[in-house]
Structure 1
């Protein structure tokens, strides 16, 4: 039996493939795929107004209008920092400098605080622009990496947002790199549009968090 790990949570690999099939290819089950992954968005590698609607396809925001305007206000600094992250860069093999760039990218949230835009919403926009590099974040992923017993990035009083994100990104990178063949196999289940191993990790992490009770 092969265990597939996301942070401090795990599932049998064969079971994970069943979850992925239901999410990606089972026509009888309604999911965010292919709506989110196939949404056209901006035709460039930078964030455009069309991309700001993508989080709604993952049921992220209960306040879509203020979230849209908040994201719109952040487009300038976000695109400046995206320019330092080539499209083909992969988190699995990224160096420390690239991780630091990602932390700086997320740091826009503190430099220009916006009430309705947090990491959950922002990551849904950014992942589509650099799908091999930028992971998605939500309460289920947080549970896997932080709240689960033996999680690799436990809560730590006094730690900065940047410090948490740096540790989280490195933990995701470890899970991605050490199990890359399995993530590729799960990603290949998608009938089209294609998804990356990083998106496959998110799908299984989301399922693990959803089923934790």
Structure 2
């Protein structure tokens, strides 16, 4: 039986197929709402105001108005940085320089913008580079940072840019390790709907694996994090 890796968690391929199929075919799912959301224009490589609303389609809905204005303040800097990020590149083909350019986008978090964290920012940026920039949330963080043996453990002195750089390396490793399987999972998207990248397929499986692992924690360890593991 083929086993996929997402951070320090493993998922049997049959389970990954079941999760992906459910996510990609269930009515009222975040797919295709998020992935097909036109935003400021699907062909635009830069962010526009409409793109800043996309996180709501992945159930990021806390403080939507101040979050929007905070993202709007960040947009000029993000667009300047996005000009250094290739538009058609896949994460498994990214060079060290490419990863550094993506990590620099998350460096805006080092200024501690109000109402914007890595989850919201990733869900804005991923739509502009869907094969290159992964989605992040509390469940994905558990896979890559918080569970036993996680490849990107907490380092208190590390910047957000530094964390993103290490996380991108770890996700790329998982994507490369079983790229054929991630491609097959991406192909489960209905033909009459928006196609997804192998990276997006990995995102879906990582979310479900992390969510399940959080739910299985003893209540004292689980704390608030399991309740926050909302669908991506």
**Distance in 2 between residues matched to 1:124 and 1:157, nearest whole Å:** 24
SS class of match (2:126): helix
Q: Deviations over 1:119-138 (max 9, x none)?
A: 10010010000111111111
CA positional deviation for 1:149:
1.1
Aligned position for 1:200: 201
- The answer to whether the Cα contact below 8 Å between 1:21 and 1:189 also exists between their aligned partners in 2 is yes
- The answer to whether the Cα contact below 8 Å between 1:42 and 1:49 also exists between their aligned partners in 2 is yes
Greater CA deviation, 161-170 or 79-88?
A: 161-170
Query: Aligned Cα RMSD in Å?
Result: 1.1
CA positional deviation for 1:156:
2.5
Query: Pairwise mapping of residues 57-76 of structure 1 onto structure 2 (< 5 A)?
Result: 57-76=57-76
- The answer to whether the Cα contact below 8 Å between 1:89 and 1:133 also exists between their aligned partners in 2 is yes
**Distance in 1 between residues matched to 2:16 and 2:160, nearest whole Å:** 31
Query: Pairwise mapping of residues 121-200 of structure 1 onto structure 2 (< 5 A)?
Result: 121-191=120-190, 192-200=193-201
SS class of match (1:11): strand
- The answer to whether the Cα contact below 8 Å between 1:5 and 1:11 also exists between their aligned partners in 2 is yes
**Distance in 2 between residues matched to 1:162 and 1:76, nearest whole Å:** 18
CA positional deviation for 1:162:
2.4
Work out which of the residue numbers 35, 40, 45 in structure 1 matches 2:38.
Answer: 40
- The answer to whether the Cα contact below 8 Å between 2:20 and 2:185 also exists between their aligned partners in 1 is yes
CA positional deviation for 1:172:
0.5
TM-score (norm 1): 0.95
**Distance in 1 between residues matched to 2:208 and 2:70, nearest whole Å:** 29
CA positional deviation for 1:160:
2.6
**Distance in 1 between residues matched to 2:161 and 2:52, nearest whole Å:** 23
CA positional deviation for 1:184:
0.6
CA positional deviation for 1:110:
1.8
TM-score (norm 2): 0.87
SS class of match (2:139): helix
CA positional deviation for 1:16:
0.6
Aligned position for 1:82: 82
**Distance in 1 between residues matched to 2:116 and 2:154, nearest whole Å:** 22
Q: Deviations over 1:50-70 (max 9, x none)?
A: 101100001113110001111
SS class of match (1:5): strand
The alignment of Structure 1 onto Structure 2 pairs a total of residues equal to 210
Query: 5+ residue gaps in structure 1?
Result: none
Query: 5+ residue gaps in structure 2?
Result: 217-232
SS class of match (1:38): coil
**Distance in 1 between residues matched to 2:187 and 2:78, nearest whole Å:** 30
